[in-house]
Amino acid sequence: MNNQGPPGPYIPRHMPEALKGLVGLALDLRWSWHHGSDQLWSTLDREMWESTANAWLVLNSVSGQRLQELAGDADFLALLAAQIAEQDAYNLRDTWCDSRHGEQAVDPVAFFCMEFGITESLPLYSGGLGVLAGDYLKAANDLGVPVVAVGLLYQQGFFRQALNLDGEQLEFHPYNDPTMLPLAPLRDDAGEWVRVAIELPGRQVHLRTWRGRVGRCELLLLDSNDPRNEPGDRGITSELYSGQLEKRLQQELVLGSGGWRLLEQLGLNCRILHLNEGHCAFAALERIRSFRQQHGLSFEQARHSVRPGNLFTTHTPVASGIDQYPPALVRLYLGSCCADLDLSVDQLLALGRDPCNGLGTTDHDSTEPLNMAWLAIRLCGRVNAVSQVHGKVSRKLFRPLFPRWPEADIPIEVVTNGVHTPSWDSPESDAVWTRACGKGRWCGAQDLPAEPLCAVTDEELWRMRFRQRQRLIGYARARLVAQHCEQDNPAQVAEACGLMLDSEALTLGFARRFTAYKRPDLLLYDEERLVRLLNDHNRPLQIVLSGKAHPNDSTGKAILRRWYRFINRPDVVGKVVFIEDYDLQVASQMVQGVDVWLNSPRHPWEACGTSGMKVLVNGGLNLSQFDGWWAEAYQPGVGWAIRPFPEFSRLDDSPAHDGPDAEELFDLLENQVIPAFYDCDEQGLPNAWIGMMRASMGQLTPYYSANRMVREYCEHFYLPMRQQLEARTPEVGRELDAWHSELTLHWQQLRFGQLVIAQEGDETVFRVQLHLDGLRPEWASVELVADPDGEWPPQKVVMSRSGPLAGTNTYTYECRVVTGRPAAHFTPRVVAAHPLASLPLEFPGILWFR
C-alpha cells in the first residue's frame, strides 16, 4: 500500500499552532459525506458552513480573531483532536484491499475522467458520468483500493439554472475561484508548485496542478490558467464540455497527455490506466509514447507492450454521443505527437476509424473523423459497458471494429454501475441501518445477512419514511420561496410556498437531464389523467421535479416549458413542484425524501442510470422503464417496471412506443402504486408497501453500490490485468508486433478446403482443410461453431490440427461432436491465436467456411 501521507506543508493563511490540524481535515473531502466533522465546521462559522457546505472555504474565511478565540477553547480543541484521531484511524485501518489483496495492490490505479462530482462545493461535473466518477473514488477509498484520479479544473463548472416567468431556462456561469475550492496546489518536495507542459501547434502550454484528497485516494486536477500561457490557452480549461470542437480536442489533450505526463513526473508507477469514457483516450497514447522512448520500441511494439494495462469503460449508448474529430484538426493538433511516436497521422487516424472503409489501410483519402471510443478500444486490453442492456447496445455500436464476428463474441464486458451508499443515505436511514447492521457496513466486503432489516419493525420503517418525506418537503418549500423571490410580495410567496406539498401524501420524484430520450414528459402524455391522480382527495399523488436541459437542446427546453405551464395550472397548484438548478445537493434531498423514483427513458437508451439506485438505501421504491440497471434489478416485489422484458433488435430512437409506455405508467400508478401506498392496516401501516421497501432495501442496496462495482473492477479487471501486463515485457511486445504483422500479411490469403462430415457411432466427425499461406500454424485456431437455434444452445469446439499435407502449408482440422444436433448447424471458422494475446481485441480477423 502506498502511503500518500498528509497533504504537504500547505497552510494558506496564518493559523494558530493549536488549530493547524484543521487544514488536513478541511482538505480531505471525506467531510462531504461522513458528517462526523459537521459540528466542527459549524462551530467555526455556522452561516458559512450552512450556506456553502465547503469546509475549506469556512476555514479560509473565518476571521483571525475567531481562530484565536477557538485556539483557547478547550471544548473546540477536544472536538478537533477527536476528529483528527478519527481521520488517522480511518486512514490507517485495515481495509478490504489490504486484507484481500495486500501484497498485490501496491501501485495506484490511474483513473481518468473529464468530470468529477464529489461534492457541490467542488462543482466540476455536469451529470451522471461525473457523479459516477465521484462515487467510484469514494468507494475506492472505503475499500482501500489505491487510486489516483486525474481530471480538469474548470474555471466554470456546468451552468446553473433558473426558470423565468415563462418557463424559459436561464443559464448562469459562476466563476470557480480555485483557491476557495477544497483543493491545494500540488507541490513537490522542495515546495515548488508542480507544473507539466504539453505541446500544442507551435507552442507549449503550461498546466498548473491541484490536488484534492478523498481519504487515501487522490484527485489531481490540471488547469491551463497559467499566466505564462497565451490568453487563448489560459481558457482551455475554462468551461466544462465546450460546444467548440477544437477546444474540446485541446481539453482532451490536456487531460490525456498532460495527465499521464503528470503521473510520470510524480514518479507514480501506475500500471493500470482506467479510461472512464473515450474523452481520455490520449492518456493511453501518451503512455505508449513514453514507453516507446524508454525501451527503444516502435509504436506498434510499444502499443502491444502496454495494452493489457489499459481499461476502457464506455458509458455512451448512442453513436452521436462519442467525440469525433475531423482529420484536419487531428493533423494540426497531433502532428508533433505522431512524429514522436514515429507514426504517420494517417496511421493514427486509422486507429479511430472504421476498418471496413478502405479495409483498415491508411492510404484512403477520407474525411472520416477520428472516433475517440474506437481509438480507446484499439489502445486498451479490456473494454466494459455499464449495464447488461448497455453491454448489448455497445456490442452493436462497436460491431464495425469486429467485422463478421457474431455480436455475442464482441469483447465488451459488463460492470454495472453503482452508487456510493454513504453519500446518499439520510440521517434517518443511516440510523436504521446502523442499528440493524452496525457501523462501517458499507465500507468492507458488505457481507450483509439475506434479510438485513429483519430486526427493524414495520412501524420504524414507516416512521423513517415519514420523516424523510417531511424533510424533503421542508427543503422544497424553502427552495421555492427562494425561486419566487423575484415576485412582488415576498411575504405572500412564503406563505403560499408553506402550503405546498403534503407530508402524508405519496411523493413521486423525477430528476434528470431534460432531453428527448429520457422522456421527462411521459406523465404529460395524458394531462387530464394526471390531474385526476393529483386531485384524488383520499389518495393524492404529488410530484417533485428537477432537471436541466442542455443549453443547445431545444427539445429539452420545450419539455421544461410544458411542465412549467402544467405546474401553474390553477387545479394542480401546490401538488407538483419544480426545484430549479438540479445538482448534487438537490439530488441528495430528493432521493432521501421521495417514496417513488420515476425513470422513463426510451428503451434501450439508458446506459445504466444511477439516480434510482440512490433511493434504495432510503426505502424509496423504483418505478422505471425496464432499461439500464433496472432491467437487471427488477423483479416483482421490489418495485415496478414499465414494459418488462422487451425485445429490441434495432437501435432506433423512434417515439413509437411512447403512447403505450405512458399508458402502462398510468395503469401502474392507478392500479398498483397508489393503492399499495394507501392501503393501511388498523395501525395505519401499509403492509404491502413496507414489504416492498424491505425487499428493495435489503436485496438491492448492497449490490447496486459503488462498493460492489469497485470490487468488481479490482478483482475482475485490475488484478488480472496487472498479471497480464507483467507478462508483456518489451520482448513480448516485439514478438506480438511480429505476430500481428504476419497475420495481417497472410490473413487475406487463408483459404478453406473441403469440409467432410462423417457419422461414427453417436459421434459426428468434422474434418476440414485450411491453407495457411505463409502463416505459422500455431497462430491460427479453427473452431467449429453453432448458433443458438430453438432449444439448441450456442456451441463452440476448437478443432485439432494435423498435417501439413506434403509439400504445402495446408493442414487438416478435426473434431468430434456428440449431440443429436443436425450437422448443418455447424460451421468452421478460423481466428487468430496466441497464448499471450487478448482476442479478438488484438486481432479481430475472422474467416468463415462458406
Ligand X SMILES: *Cc1c(COP(=O)(O)O)cnc(C)c1O
Binding site for ligand X (CB under 6 A): 127-128, 131, 512, 582-584, 587, 609-611
Cell of 744: 495481417
Residue pointed to by grid coordinates 466494459:
384
Q: Which is nearer to ligand X, 257 or 423 (CB)?
A: 423
Amino acid at 497: C
All three cell numbers of 398, joined, read: 462497436
What is the rounded distance in angstroms from the CA atom of residue 349 to the CA atom of residue 344? 9
Q: State the nearest-atom distance from the C-beta of 500 to ligand X, in Å.
A: 22
- Give the nearer residue to ligand X in terms of CB position, either 218 or 583: 583
Which residue number, 705 or 810, has a Cβ lying nearer to ligand X?
705
- Cite the DSSP H helix spans in 400-457: 421-424, 427-437
Q: Report which of 798, 796, 805 is spatially closest to residue 753, judged by C-alpha positions.
A: 805
CB closer to ligand X out of 212 and 609: 609
Q: Give whichever of 35 and 796 is closer to ligand X, judged by the CB atom.
A: 35
Q: Find the shortest distance in angstroms from Cβ 647 to ligand X.
A: 24
Q: Shortest gap between Cβ of 373 and ligand X (angstroms)?
A: 19
The answer to whether the beta carbons of residues 320 and 284 sit under 8 Å apart is: no
Residue 306 CB-density burial (10 A; 0-12 exposed, 13-18 middle, 19+ buried): buried
Least separation, in Å, of the C-beta of 66 and ligand X?
33
| Nearer to ligand X among residue 258 and residue 317 (C-beta) | 317
- Closer CB to ligand X, residue 301 or residue 624? 624
The C-alpha atoms of residue 671 and residue 347 are separated, in whole angstroms, by 60
Q: Which is nearer to ligand X, 127 or 698 (CB)?
A: 127
**What radius of gyration do the chain's Cα atoms show?**
29
Question: Which alpha helices (DSSP H) does 312-457 contain, by range?
Answer: 327-341, 345-350, 372-379, 388-397, 421-424, 427-437
CB 279 within 8 A of CB 249: no
3-state secondary structure string across 108-168: CEEEECCCECCCCCCCECCCHHHHHHHHHHHHHHHHCCCEEEEEECCCECCCEEEECCCCC
Min dist CB 605 to ligand X, Å, is 11
Angle formed by the axes of helices 427-437 and 458-483, nearest 10°: 160
For cell 473452431, name the residue: 783
User: Nearest approach, Cβ of 128 to ligand X (angstroms)?
Assistant: 3
Q: Is 351 helix (H, G, I), strand (E, B) or coil?
A: coil
Residue 488's contacts (CB-CB under 8 Å, 6 or more residues apart) are none
Q: Rounded to the nearest whole angstrom, what is the least distance from the CB of residue 314 to ligand X in the complex?
A: 15
User: How far apart (Å, rounded) are the C-alpha atoms in residues 203 and 368?
Assistant: 27
- The nearest distance, CB 660 to ligand X, in angstroms, is 23
Angstrom CA distances, 186 to 2, 183, 190, 192, stand at 18, 9, 11, 8
Q: Which of 287, 261, 289 is nearest to 274 (CA)?
A: 287
Least separation in angstroms between CB 391 and ligand X: 17
DSSP letter (8 states) at residue 239: B
Long-range contacts of 801-804 (CB under 8 A, 24+ apart): 801/777, 803/777, 804/777
Q: What is the largest CA-CA distance in the chain?
A: 99
Cβ at position 252, least distance to ligand X in Å: 22
- In what side-by-side order are the strands of the sheet with 846-848? 795-798, 780-786, 826-832, 846-848
* Residue closer to ligand X (CB basis): 131 or 281: 131
Cβ proximity to ligand X: between 301 and 426 the closer is: 426
Report the nearest approach of ligand X to the CB of residue 160 (Å): 12
Least distance to ligand X, CB of residue 181, Å: 18
Which residue's CB is nearer to ligand X, number 299 or number 630? Answer: 630
Instruction: Kindly tell me which of 161 and 301 has the beta carbon lying closer to ligand X.
Output: 161
Q: Between residues 90 and 605, which has the closer beta carbon with respect to ligand X?
A: 605
Residue number, 510 or 689, with CB nearest to ligand X: 510
**Those residues with Cβ within 8 angstroms of residue 660's Cβ, 6 or more apart along the chain or in another chain:** 643
Angle between helices 327-341 and 282-295 (to 10 degrees): 20
Taking the least distance from each CB to ligand X, the nearer of 292 and 603 is 603
For ligand X, give the closer residue by CB, 618 or 810: 618
CB pairs under 8 A, 24+ apart, for 296-300? Answer: 297/730, 297/733, 297/734, 298/342, 298/737, 299/341, 299/342, 299/343, 299/347, 300/737, 300/740, 300/741
Question: Cα 745 from chain centroid?
Answer: 39
Contacts of 795 (CB under 8 A, 6+ apart): 784, 785, 786, 817, 819, 821, 826
How many whole angstroms separate alpha carbon 385 and alpha carbon 388? Answer: 8
Task: Kindly tell me the burial class for residue 447, based on how many C-beta atoms sit within 10 Å of its own C-beta (0-12, 13-18, 19 or more).
Answer: exposed
- Please answer whether residues 673 and 506 qualify as being in contact, where contact means their C-beta atoms are separated by less than 8 angstroms: yes
368 three-class SS: coil
Do 274 and 111 meet the contact criterion of CB atoms below 8 Å apart? yes
Residue 131 or 337: the one with the smaller Cβ distance to ligand X is 131
Provide, rounded to whole angstroms, the least separation between the CB of residue 468 and ligand X.
17
**CB closer to ligand X out of 305 and 423:** 423
Smallest gap, in angstroms, from Cβ of residue 232 to ligand X? 31
Least separation in angstroms between CB 546 and ligand X: 9
Q: How far is the CB of 501 from ligand X (least distance, A)?
A: 21
To ligand X, the closest distance from the beta carbon of 556 in angstroms equals: 13
**Minimum CB–partner distance for residue 127 and ligand X (Å):** 4
